[in-house]
Amino acid sequence: MEKQELFDTVEAERSWLEDLSQSIWADPEVALQEYDSAEKLQDALREEGFEVETGVAGMDTAFIARYGEGDPVVGTMGEFDALPGMSQQATAEREPVEEGAPGHGCGHNLFGVGSLAAAVAVKRAIECGDAEGTVVYAGTPAEEAGGGKVYMVRDGVFDDVDAVVSWHPGWNNAPGKGSCLAVDSFEFRFEGETAHAAASPESGRSALDGVQLLGTGIEYMREHVPQAARIHYVVTDGGDAANIVPGEAAMECLVRAPDRAEVERISEWVKDAAEGAALMSGTELEATKTSGMYGVLPNHELGDVIRENMADAEFTLTEDQAQFASELKETLENPSYGRVQPEHREAAAEAAMFTQPIDAPDEGKTGSYSTDTGDVSWNVPVGRFTAATWPPGTPAHSWQAVAAGKELGTAGMLFAGKTIAGALYDLLTDEDRLARATGEFTQRKGDREYESPLPDDADPYELVDR
Ligand SMILES: [Zn+2]
Express each pLDDT in 265-311 by its tens digit. Answer: 999 999 999 999 999 999 999 999 999 999 999 999 999 999 999 99
* Mean pLDDT within 137-150: 91
**Cα–ligand 1 centroid distance for 83 (angstroms):** 9
**Cα–ligand 1 centroid distance for 95 (angstroms):** 22
**Cα–ligand 1 centroid distance for 248 (angstroms):** 34
Instruction: Give pLDDT, residue 308.
Output: 98
* Mean pLDDT within 40-62: 97
Within 13 Å, how many C-alpha atoms sit on residue 353's CB side?
26
**Cα–ligand 1 centroid distance for 318 (angstroms):** 25
Express each pLDDT in 81-90 by its tens digit. Answer: 999 999 999 9
Residue 466 above 60 pLDDT? no
**Cα–ligand 1 centroid distance for 335 (angstroms):** 19
**Cα–ligand 1 centroid distance for 108 (angstroms):** 6
9 — phi, psi (to 5°)?
-60, -45
What is d(CA 137, CA 7) in angstroms, rounded to the nearest whole number? 18
63 — phi, psi (to 5°)?
-150, 165
Task: Please give the model's pTM, rounded to 2 decimal places.
Answer: 0.94
Amino acid 230 reads R
355 — phi, psi (to 5°)?
-95, -15
* Mean pLDDT within 113-134: 97
Query: Average per-residue pLDDT in the chain?
Result: 96
CA dihedral 197, 198, 199, 200 (to 10 degrees): 40
For 3-179+295-445, the fitting CATH number among 1.10.1740.10, 3.20.20.80, 3.40.630.10, 2.40.50.140 is: 3.40.630.10
**Cα–ligand 1 centroid distance for 447 (angstroms):** 31
Instruction: Give pLDDT, residue 458.
Output: 83
Amino acid 183 reads V
Residue 438 near residue 163, CB atoms below 8 Å: yes
Q: From residue 308, how far is each of 125, 142, 170, 347, 382 by CA, in Å?
A: 19, 31, 19, 21, 16
- Report the SS3 class of residue 451: coil
Residue 161 above 80 pLDDT? yes
* Mean pLDDT within 255-261: 96
Map out the domains of the chain as residue ranges.
3-179+295-445, 182-291
Express each pLDDT in 402-425 by its tens digit. Answer: 999 999 999 999 999 999 999 999
Residue 176 near residue 384, CB atoms below 8 Å: yes
- Report the SS3 class of residue 76: strand
Instruction: Give pLDDT, residue 464.
Output: 62
Return the bridge partners of 383, or none: 165
What percent of the chain lies above the pLDDT cut of 70? 99
Instruction: Give pLDDT, residue 125.
Output: 97
- Report the SS3 class of residue 259: coil
* Mean pLDDT within 128-145: 94
Of the pLDDT bands very low, low, confident and very high (cuts 50, 70, 90), residue 256 is very high
φ/ψ bin of 433: left (φ > 0), alpha (ψ from -120 to 50), beta (otherwise): alpha
What is d(CA 241, CA 345) in angstroms, rounded to the nearest whole number? 51
* Mean pLDDT within 205-225: 98
- Report angle CA 74, 370, 157 to the nearest 5 degrees: 30
What is d(CA 181, CA 186) in angstroms, rounded to the nearest whole number? 16
Q: From residue 466, how far is each of 146, 250, 257 by CA, in Å?
A: 9, 12, 23
Express each pLDDT in 375-396 by its tens digit. Answer: 999 999 999 999 999 999 999 9
Name every residue whose Cβ is closer than 8 Å to that of residue 11 and which is 6 or more positions away in sequence. Answer: 316, 414, 418
**Cα–ligand 1 centroid distance for 201 (angstroms):** 48
**Cα–ligand 1 centroid distance for 330 (angstroms):** 23
Residue 140 near residue 149, CB atoms below 8 Å: yes
Q: What is the CA radius of gyration of the chain?
A: 23
What percent of the chain lies above the pLDDT cut of 90? 96
**Cα–ligand 1 centroid distance for 421 (angstroms):** 21
**Cα–ligand 1 centroid distance for 173 (angstroms):** 16
Q: How many residues does the chain have?
A: 466
Amino acid 220 reads Y
**Cα–ligand 1 centroid distance for 105 (angstroms):** 8
User: Which helix or strand (DSSP H or E) is residue 78 part of?
Assistant: strand 73-78
* Mean pLDDT within 212-236: 97
Express each pLDDT in 41-50 by its tens digit. Answer: 999 999 999 9
Taking alpha carbons only, the member of 82, 41, 113, 90 closest to residue 396 is: 82
* Mean pLDDT within 183-187: 96
Instruction: Give pLDDT, residue 285.
Output: 98
Domain 182-291 has CATH 3.40.190.10: no
